[in-house]
Amino acid sequence: MSLGIGVIGAGTVGGGVIQTLLTQKNAIARKTSAQLELVHIADTLPERFKEFALGPNVRTSTDATALIEDPNVAVMCELIGGLQPAKRFIAQALRAGKHVVTANKMLLAHSGPELCQIAQEHGVELRYEAAVAGGIPIIKALREGLAANNIQRVYGILNGTCNYILSRMTYDGLDFADALRQAQELGFAETPPDLDIEGHDTAHKCQIIASLCYSTEIALDDIYVEGITRVSHADVAYADELGYLIKLLAVVREAGDAIEARVHPTLVPKQHLLASVRHEFNAVYVKGDVTDATLYYGRGAGRMPTAGAVVADLVDIARRGTGSAPAPFVYGPKRPIRDMGHIEGAYYLRLTTQDQPGVLGKVCTALGNHRVSIAWCIQKGEIANGAVHVILMTHETVESAVQSALSEIDQMDFIVEPTHVLRVLQE
């Protein structure tokens, strides 16, 4: 029996889904026995319909409600993005007994529990493989492949734009603005790009992964988010000299009863698997107590990789067949998110200071008073007006100790600008 599919949003990803359903239909059926039948497309821009060779059996409308009410639509793909009206359309479709497949990470991060609850109440599925890391089947891996594990940690490079910018700064010496412009031209940056470069897009994906790993509701606001806009050429070069690359990571870890869920630029040792993930590619490193470490790599954005993830969800729904119970995502008891002050790890500190006697003594004393031990110290030549960079790498410590020491150090009269802090990847 075929599964009637409706697509709302015929833009980048929606267009890729439509194209895939039209061209791969027979190959998918042969391989998976799933009969995926595109029956309805809705978009507020009707000129988009002309882009596809639609047969007479595919309805088109400019109104999503017409698609939701179409009795031939068994699954609605929501590919318009944003919070509203996407949320309203998804809730409406679920209540009408339609399965929903979405790539909408922002909406899931804001309203995932509410929408999952509606899906569960109406005995339908809400699936979102495309919402995290595009073409990488990480949701399936966490939900199914790694089901036997208690997940100990996840490190994700989940934003292609940020990884592209940092890679171009590292390998090609590009400055931030040029690298961003190129990411925009290549089509994987959000519009405006603040969601990418300020870390919020990664935070949305971090929230989805953390909820899934620990079956718990995680408030987006509880996730610490720091983007890449303060990472300078100097940081990239000093990190390189110390044996690290800088990557924007989503970090999810179990810490006793609590969970760590945070997003920030991170120093990744060059020999770590994640260090080889360049340009717009995404990767997710997952360590579980049964399977141990696994790594997933691929394109995290773009029309066709993301469309592939949407279609994979459709195949799963079709294979399950009508009448059988969908697999609900159940949220267990709430667990606290660990306060950033309690995070443990090593730190990179870039001080900008006047080059004068006694500076290092005073800085190291302040760190020592807070029990922060120094592993490395490098002073660089003059950058401007007698100021120099001093790079300190600490041994493993507690973040609150580093922050307390820095609040004293940054008040010292020889310090020219606030110290830049970067966290180092913990194994």
Site string for ligand HSE, 233-252 (x = CB under 6 A): --------------------
User: The tokens 């969908």 sit on which residue?
Assistant: 326
Residue 305 preceded by cis peptide, ω within 30:
no
- Crossing angle of helices 12-32 and 303-320, rounded to 10°: 40
Residues 6+ apart with CB under 8 A from 84: none
Nearest-approach distance from CB 423 to ligand HSE, in angstroms: 21
Show the tokens assigned to 327: 């697999």
Interface with ligand HSE (CB under 6 A), residue from 188, 214, 285, 348: 188
Alpha-carbon span 134 to 7, nearest angstrom: 18
Alpha-carbon span 351 to 418, nearest angstrom: 7
- Residue 393: name the closest of 261, 269, 263 by CA: 269
Nearest-approach distance from CB 93 to ligand HSE, in angstroms: 22
Contact predicate 5/314, CB 8 Å: yes
Binding of residue 189 to ligand HSE (CB under 6 A) = yes
Comparing CB distances to ligand HSE, the nearer of 13 and 267 is 13
Alpha-carbon span 15 to 156, nearest angstrom: 27
Nearest-approach distance from CB 19 to ligand HSE, in angstroms: 18
Comparing CB distances to ligand HSE, the nearer of 16 and 160 is 160
Nearest-approach distance from CB 64 to ligand HSE, in angstroms: 22
Contact predicate 63/269, CB 8 Å: no
Comparing CB distances to ligand HSE, the nearer of 203 and 261 is 203
The residue range among 67-75, 139-147, 155-163, 269-277 that interacts with ligand HSE, by the rule CB under 6 A, is: 155-163
Size, binding site for ligand HSE by CB under 6 A = 11
Whats the size of the chain, residue-wise? 427
The residue range among 76-84, 185-193, 262-270, 283-291 that interacts with ligand HSE, by the rule CB under 6 A, is: 185-193
198, with CB counted inside 10 A (0-12, 13-18, 19+), is middle
The residue range among 5-13, 16-24, 76-84, 184-192 that interacts with ligand HSE, by the rule CB under 6 A, is: 184-192
- Residue 254: name the closest of 151, 143, 148, 155 by CA: 151
Nearest-approach distance from CB 159 to ligand HSE, in angstroms: 4
Site string for ligand HSE, 299-338 (x = CB under 6 A): -xx-------------------------------------
Residues 6+ apart with CB under 8 A from 141: 286, 294, 296
Is 205 noted as a catalytic residue in this protein? yes
Q: Which of residues 125-154 bind ligand HSE (CB under 6 A)?
A: 134
Contact predicate 71/40, CB 8 Å: no
Alpha-carbon span 84 to 23, nearest angstrom: 31
Which one of the listed residues 87, 98, 105, 205 is annotated catalytic?
205
Comparing CB distances to ligand HSE, the nearer of 69 and 194 is 194
Nearest-approach distance from CB 153 to ligand HSE, in angstroms: 21
Nearest-approach distance from CB 68 to ligand HSE, in angstroms: 25
Interface with ligand HSE (CB under 6 A), residue from 9, 81, 160, 298: 160
Nearest-approach distance from CB 150 to ligand HSE, in angstroms: 28
Show the tokens assigned to 45: 């821009």
What is the SS3 assignment for 40?
A: strand
Comparing CB distances to ligand HSE, the nearer of 134 and 288 is 134
Interface with ligand HSE (CB under 6 A), residue from 61, 102, 111, 161: 161
Site string for ligand HSE, 195-214 (x = CB under 6 A): -x----x-------------
Alpha-carbon span 131 to 245, nearest angstrom: 26
Site string for ligand HSE, 63-102 (x = CB under 6 A): ----------------------------------------
Secondary structure string (H, E, C) spanning 125-176 = CEECHHHCCCCCCHHHHHHHHCCCCCEEEEEEECCHHHHHHHHHHHHHCCCH
Residues with catalytic roles: 205
Residues engaged in binding ligand HSE (CB under 6 A): 134, 159-161, 188-190, 196, 201, 300-301
